[in-house]
Amino acid sequence: MNPKLSAVTRFTRTTAMLFAACLLGLFSGAADAEPSHGIAMRGEPALAADFSHLPYVNPDAPQGGRLVYGVYGTFDDLNPFDIKSIRTGARGLWEPVFGNLVFESLLKRSRDEPFTLYGLLAEKVELPEDRGWMKFHLNPKAAFSDGQPVTVEDVLFTFELLREKGRPPFSSRMKQVERLEKTGERSFRITFNEQASRETPMLFGLMPVLPKHAVDAERFGESTLEPPIASGPYVVSDIRPGESITYTRNRDYWGNDLPVNRGFYNFDTIRVDYYRNASSQFEAFKKGLFDIYPESSPAKWRTSYDFAAVDDGRVVKESFASREPSGMLGLVFNTRREKFSNRNVRKALAMLFDFEWANENLFYDAYTRTSSYWQGSNLSSLGEPASRAERTILNPFPDAVPQDVMDGSYRAAVADGTGRDRRILRSSLTLLQGEGYKIEQGQLVDAQGTPLAFELLIAGGAGLSSQDMERLSLSYKRTAAKLGINIDVRFVDDSQFQARKGTFDFDMTITRYSSSLSPGAEQIYRWGSQSRDIEGSFNFAGVAEPAIDTAIERLLSARTEEDFTAAVRAYDRLLISGHYVVPLYHLGKEFIARWAHIERPEYTPLYGPQFPTWWSAKAR
């Protein structure tokens, strides 16, 4: 047979088969995709199509009054979707804590389910079982704050703009799209390519929609303080750059009566005040200058709330038990630095953090040591021997996970609490000596005689007060010095801190990796190879490991709860084994103080208190 003819024949047959498969997929997908009021990552939405409100709101909450937040930092940008906004974007425009006050997404997330979305700008959505495409049906009432309707053209414009000029993850999501097309006056369809995962449609449900008629595409990447036109419940009414931003209720807001919004956005005015340090922020709260104070320090929670407003009941202190995984608060090694490229060196340095001493002497024994990224949930690998499904994922990488992590017995190092545990110091030194280090004239040096020294970059934040962070870092510095390791603790202001983290200009820094019960594509931007060299990504550790990439792919493609749990646990084992952070601790509780005129619903959802559902007693 002619080889060329054979190759052509094989190509033709293969092409025909692929074409037939595509046609079959399209038709079968179209047949089993019915318009729905919501979608879930796995399974079905908990609420039926006729639900009246989300379960964690007071649907009869009074409307009116004013809420003032106080935050640490500064701002100089009112565009939450450009690269610059990662560092100094204004709070409240688009975020999970204060709510999406100005911008809205196609669908809205329920905070009482692991990952479920319900209709918002899009009243209905179609999603076939294979999730190869999705179709949105826009709500005919949806409108921007200037009265113009939200159209399919606005959606397509937004998606293309974010593809070209948006920040991650918005720009990165667009790489998973094969085709965008208008399918009707108020409907459009997204066809995904081979880069998409089963989570991809969920993430597109959370994409914002910008007004084509009011956005200057040419200047989109520039910082701006011009109040945006958007479709959300509030508009920006006053701006004092770096000091405060005020949002006023849009009286003509189109979505007031939607079930997903009932009980939300109860204040006429919301203001966010900025403070340059944590001390002035707390003193301002004590004086009643702002209304809600999430407290990050258990020591401060016990000792600093002895002012008159607490005693007489004008300030209410509440603690909320967490139902979320622990996440990981840790001191992150920048593995782009040669000194941190060795896993055993990182492990040895992580052992030197004396949690037991810090917990007793700094935090009144309030914390639990963190050893897993999903501790406290069934997604954690702690105490769980690797299942057959996990081993299948990990088998191609035989050296990636040590035995104690594989069998579930691993825990972060436990010291005697004296701050000078010789056993821990010896074990750490032995590891370092195995990698060529030795002590000379009181300094730990490598084979070339270069001292092991590095800078720890910190600022207030990441769930810690500045005072706690200072005490903790100096404690770590003292312990490391016993092995001749010099840690230069560098305190910087918030803007410099964010700028240096965003460009990976640090040796070690502090970061909190939040964890949900439905981890997904955000993991790519924290730990995936493709995000290692993208400034503004959250891959602070500089990780680029095939095993981790594989685990992320498996958790994203999992169809069953069993496969998903196995993939996350395998992933957890890989992150633990890499020793990319010095693991710190978690609380298992959330502390919030509020002035008593701010009230909240009785029921607290899966993901904790939700400020956008609170209201003012003065509005009654």
Structure tokens at 294: 């999430």
Low-confidence ranges of the chain (pLDDT < 50): 1-31, 462-463
Q: 253, 222, 243: which is closest to 68 by C-alpha?
A: 243
Structure tokens at 608: 């904790």
Other residues' Cβ atoms within 10 Å of the Cβ of residue 50: 7
Residue extent(s) of CATH 3.10.105.10 domains in the chain: 328-584
Q: pLDDT per residue over 286-336, tens digit each?
A: 999 999 999 988 888 999 999 999 999 999 999 999 889 999 999 999 999
* pLDDT score recorded for residue 416: 93
CATH number of 328-584: 3.10.105.10
* pLDDT score recorded for residue 17: 37
CA 253 to chain centre: 28
* pLDDT score recorded for residue 3: 36
CATH topology of domain 234-323+589-619: D-Maltodextrin-Binding Protein; domain 2 (3.40.190)
Q: Tell me how far apart the alpha carbons of residues 76 and 484 are, in angstroms, rounded to a whole number.
A: 43
Q: Residue 452 in 3-state DSSP?
A: coil
* pLDDT score recorded for residue 468: 77
Q: Tell me how far apart the alpha carbons of residues 349 and 340 are, in angstroms, rounded to a whole number.
A: 10
Pick the CATH number of 38-61+87-219 from 3.60.20.10, 3.40.720.10, 2.30.22.10, 3.40.190.10: 3.40.190.10
* pLDDT score recorded for residue 7: 35
Structure tokens at 337: 């630095």
What secondary structure letter does DSSP report for 214? G
* pLDDT score recorded for residue 464: 58
* pLDDT score recorded for residue 21: 39
Q: Tell me how far apart the alpha carbons of residues 273 and 522 are, in angstroms, rounded to a whole number.
A: 29
Q: pLDDT per residue over 363-402, tens digit each?
A: 889 899 999 999 999 999 999 999 999 999 999 999 999 9
Q: pLDDT per residue over 444-500, tens digit each?
A: 999 999 999 999 999 855 445 667 788 889 999 999 999 999 999 999 887 788 889
Residue extent(s) of CATH 3.40.190.10 domains in the chain: 38-61+87-219, 234-323+589-619
> Beta partners for 107?
119
